[in-house]
């Protein structure tokens, strides 16, 4: 149960919240009711039919957790950008996915997505190793995750962070009590999407479990967790 008892100065945010409510009760509006079409902003307060009032309502939102599985694709495990130990996090991620699903929480995943013109892109010029080319086996999820993620929403992304994922989180931010990021690689795509999640849902707890991510560079892997803590991401 979320309780709001304050002057509402952002009607766009109020619209977004009301659209997700199961029940809305209005108090103290002096008979004005919730007439959003006729309400307008004046001096930081809300005016209805010429009278100022404070909107008080109880918002009942079904809060849930979100798990984001980042780029668990063949090329990052045993393909062109694979590294020793990358497969060691797979079992833990499978268990975490099943735990979220059994609790009725949400699971989504990202897919690093490139094409034949990869070498002509900025990333390709800086990292001249073709990987995750759509349509190749390296692009596919690792076999252990295919079934468990088959019913989950996927976000294809052409670079490290997913703007589509960020927009999705932003649109549903009021419903998330926490957002956990796992997958590969810790110091590149995992941290990129953790920052996006933090910006999209600043009031949700953002979590990265160090046992469920890894990197080819152990020094950068360790430094990543310090950076995440510095932006108030919970590192387990």
pLDDT tens by residue, 74-108: 999 999 999 999 999 999 999 999 999 999 999 99
Q: What percent of the chain is predicted at pLDDT more than 90?
A: 73
- Same domain? For 52 and 70 the reply is no
Nearest to 63 by CA among 201, 233, 211, 219: 201
- Same domain? For 52 and 68 the reply is no
- Same domain? For 115 and 216 the reply is yes
What value, to the nearest 5°, has the Cα angle with vertex 74 and ends 116 and 185?
A: 95
- Same domain? For 167 and 222 the reply is yes
The residue among 38, 59, 80 that closes a domain is 59
> Mean pLDDT over residues 138-150, rounded?
97
If one counts the domains in the chain, the total is 2
> Mean pLDDT over residues 35-61, rounded?
42
- Same domain? For 108 and 186 the reply is yes
Q: What percent of the chain is predicted at pLDDT more than 70?
A: 74
In this predicted structure, what is the pLDDT of residue 63? Answer: 87
Sheet strands (E) in 145-220: 153-157, 176-184, 205-214
Least confident of 57-66, 97-106, 108-117, 151-160: 57-66
CA distance 47 to 42: 7
- Same domain? For 25 and 128 the reply is no
- Same domain? For 48 and 113 the reply is no
* H or E element, residue 92: helix 90-102
Range of the domain at 188: 64-235
Name the 3-class secondary structure at 88. helix
- Same domain? For 86 and 190 the reply is yes
Count of beta carbons in the 10 Å neighbourhood of residue 89: 22
- Same domain? For 14 and 88 the reply is no
In this predicted structure, what is the pLDDT of residue 61? Answer: 57
In this predicted structure, what is the pLDDT of residue 60? Answer: 52
- Same domain? For 112 and 227 the reply is yes
The contacts of residue 219 (CB under 8 Å, 6+ apart) are none
CA distance 108 to 172: 13
In the predicted model, what is the mean pLDDT of the chain?
A: 82
Stated pTM of the model: 0.74
- Same domain? For 34 and 149 the reply is no
Per the CB < 8 A criterion, the answer to whether 190 and 182 are in contact is yes
Q: Domain of 149: which CATH number?
A: 3.40.50.850
The residue among 37, 59, 81 that closes a domain is 59
The contacts of residue 149 (CB under 8 Å, 6+ apart) are 69, 97, 107, 109, 141
């Amino acid at each position: 149960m979320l309780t709001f008892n304050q002057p509402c100065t952002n009607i766009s945010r109020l619209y977004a919240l009301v659209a997700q409510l199961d029940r809305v009760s209005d108090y103290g509006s002096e008979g004005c009711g919730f007439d959003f079409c006729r309400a307008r902003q004046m001096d930081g307060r809300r005016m209805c039919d010429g009278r100022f009032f404070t909107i008080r309502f109880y918002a009942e939102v079904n809060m849930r957790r979100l798990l984001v599985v980042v780029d668990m694709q063949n090329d990052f495990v045993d393909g062109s950008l694979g590294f020793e130990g990358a497969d060691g996090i797979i079992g833990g991620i499978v268990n975490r996915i099943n735990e979220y699903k059994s609790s009725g929480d949400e699971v989504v995943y990202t897919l690093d997505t490139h094409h034949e013109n990869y070498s002509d892109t900025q990333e390709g010029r800086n990292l001249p190793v073709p990987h995750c080319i759509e349509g190749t086996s390296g692009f596919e999820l690792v076999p252990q995750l295919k079934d468990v993620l088959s019913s989950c929403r996927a976000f294809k992304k052409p670079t490290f962070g997913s703007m589509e994922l960020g927009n999705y989180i932003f649109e549903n931010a009021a419903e998330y009590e926490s957002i956990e990021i796992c997958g590969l690689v810790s110091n590149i795509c995992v941290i990129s999407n953790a920052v996006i999640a933090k910006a999209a849902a600043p009031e949700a707890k953002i979590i990265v479990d160090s046992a469920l991510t890894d990197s080819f560079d152990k020094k950068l892997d360790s430094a990543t967790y310090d950076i995440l803590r510095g932006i108030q991401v919970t590192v387990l």
